[in-house]
Amino acid sequence: MAAQQLKFTLVQPDIKWEDKQANLAMYEQYLAGVHERMEIVVLPEMFTTGFSMAPERLAETMDGPTVLWMKAMAAKYGCILTGSVIIEDEGKYFNRLIWVQPDGKLAYYDKRHLFGYANEDKHYHAGEKRLIVSVKGIRICLLVCYDLRFPVWARNRNKEYDVLLYVANWPERRSLAWKTLLQARAIENLGYAIGVNRVGKDGNGIAYSGDSSVFGPLGEPIWQQTGSAVCHTITIDKETVEQARTQFSFLDDADKFIILDKE
């Protein structure tokens, strides 16, 4: 039987602060420059605006121009496109990771852990449900930035997923935590951990070093890019995950638990 493999094209950009048109044009150039077949293209958190606390001014609906653009790009390149966007839904604002398939079908995950240090919780509503998708038999759990600090939310209960995917705007000053926690999530969940971040400075003067990374299911470093914008494609395979879980049955010994809704 042929190996189950999946390509991730990871875009680590210098996001133009709150300039949607310029950012979308930049991503179009990145995609046009990829000279191999794309399967899943990953853009960072709030990829059209940067990490902005101005949803009243910047939010779009699910039938707004950014989602339409995502659908158009997914259809054009025959790939899945994902990243988070500021969305208004039923009068509430969400930091929403959107997953768009080539046929236009979509799913989404609303960021569960809002970054109180930057008052994100004052402007956005938290999500309540995880999103796990499957592509070619490889299951992916989709999360956003600050979620990385909360291992219980990411815990691989009942071997539900093979890949943890985080999109982020994670500042350079805390890059050690970013890299360390991504590696820890891979180790403790016996799956790939992929984190896609940004570089440059945002409108608040906060610097980002990128450090977009891929770790294997035993925590082995596979790829990392620090300090510069990049578009890079990596291939992961399910057999690597299965071998790790066969050799080390740590997940079978995990505590059983349930997660209660936030009050």
Judge whether 219 lies within some domain: yes
- Give the pairing of strands 221-226 and 207-215: antiparallel
Q: What is the pLDDT of residue 1?
A: 47
The bridge status of strand 199-201 relative to strand 207-215 is antiparallel
pLDDT, mean of each 10-residue run, the chain (263 residues)? 86 98 98 97 99 98 98 98 98 98 98 98 97 98 98 95 98 98 98 98 98 98 98 98 96 88 65
Q: How many CB atoms lie within 10 A of CB 253?
A: 6
| 157 within a domain of the structure (yes/no) | yes
Rounded distance between C-alpha atoms, residue 214 and residue 216, angstroms: 7
Q: Could you give the count of Cα atoms lying within 13 Å of 14 in the half-sphere of its Cβ?
A: 7
In a domain, 64, yes or no: yes
Does some domain include residue 154? yes
CB-CB contact of 63 with 72 (8 Å): no
Count of the separate structural domains present in the chain: 1
In a domain, 166, yes or no: yes
Alpha-carbon torsion 124, 110, 165, 67, what sign? Answer: negative
Instruction: Domain of residue 153: give its range.
Output: 5-253
For residue 260, tell me if it sits in a domain: no
Residues with catalytic annotation?
45, 111, 145
Residue 128 CB partners (closer than 8 Å, separation 6+): 110, 112, 261, 262
- The pair phi, psi for residue 135, each rounded to 5°, is -130, 120
- CATH number, domain of 183, equals 3.60.110.10
Q: Is residue 129 part of a domain?
A: yes
- Helices 65-77 and 20-32 pack at an angle, to 10 degrees, of 10
* Structural contact between residues 59 and 88, judged by C-beta atoms closer than 8 angstroms: yes
pLDDT for 8: 98
For residue 192, is it within any domain? yes
- Integer-rounded Cα Rg, in Å, for the chain is 17
Q: How many residues in the chain?
A: 263
Q: Which residue in the block uniquely carries the two structure tokens 């950012």?
A: 23
Q: What pTM was computed for the model?
A: 0.97
Who's near 83: CB < 8 A, 6+ residues apart? 42, 43, 44, 45, 47, 70, 97, 98, 167, 196
* Per-residue confidence (pLDDT) for residue 263, from 0 to 100: 59
* Cα dist from 144 to 103, 147, 256, whole Å: 24, 6, 24
pLDDT value, residue 35: 94
